[in-house]
Structure 1
Amino acid sequence: MVHNDLDKLGDIIKAARKNKNLTRDQLAERVGITSRYLMAIENENHKPSYNLLFHLIRELGISADTIFFPENKVMNTELEQLTRLLRLCDERDLKIATATVKALLDTK
């Protein structure tokens, strides 16, 4: 049975916005929409365009999986935070991180 998980989109966006301590006005301004339209997305099941959804995901720093696979409940997990941090690393830092993780796994 297929569930319409996009019905949860508004709740996911609202939770991510609050988690980042952003007001509706602040987020709306950052993504170039009105706060009224953001309220409609969060509370009235309005579906944003692909372009707007892309900007919301990026601005909120959430994984697209949070929206498209909400059953995985990956929102703000330690793994997601680690992934975000790794994206900030340069090539040298990534080699160090990889060696560290391998060393941790070898001790198990």
Structure 2
Amino acid sequence: MKTEQLLGRRIRELRKARNLTQEQFGERTGINYKYLGAVERGQENPTVKVLEKIARVLRVDLRDLFAFDHLEQDSKTLKRRIAQLIEGKDQEKLQKAAKLLSALLE
């Protein structure tokens, strides 16, 4: 995933955690909400000044906008992680894991 997309997802995540609509976010930052929406979708590359305004309204440090490691995991990585978790487990634990996954995914 591109950095612009990860940054946008992180901004959206922080905005939603503060229960702000894009319109409210735009009002508080002084930035057009349509532009902010494009930033959140990774379609715009904001300047440092814009990022500073965003960080101020979200009450985070500028560097926190780039804390998106948790967003970077794609499905292939997640599948690999699940396989690592069950590797070498005994039959009983595998059955429990299968039941748990079935319950979560059905």
TM-score normalised by structure 1 residue count: 0.56
| Corresponding position: 1:62 with 2:60 | yes
Alignment identity in percent?
A: 31
Which residue is equivalent to 2:38? 40
Larger Rg: 2
Larger RCO of the pair (alpha carbons < 8 Å, separation 6+): 2
Structure 2 residues not aligned, in runs of 5+: 72-106
Structure 1 residues not aligned, in runs of 5+: 74-108
Which residue is equivalent to 2:96? none
> Could you tell me which amino acid in structure 1 is paired with residue 10 of structure 2?
I
Q: CA RMSD in A?
A: 2.2
Alignment coverage as a number of residue pairs: 71
Q: Is the 8 A contact 1:17 1:27 kept in 2?
A: yes
Which residue is equivalent to 1:8? 6
TM-score normalised by structure 2 residue count: 0.57
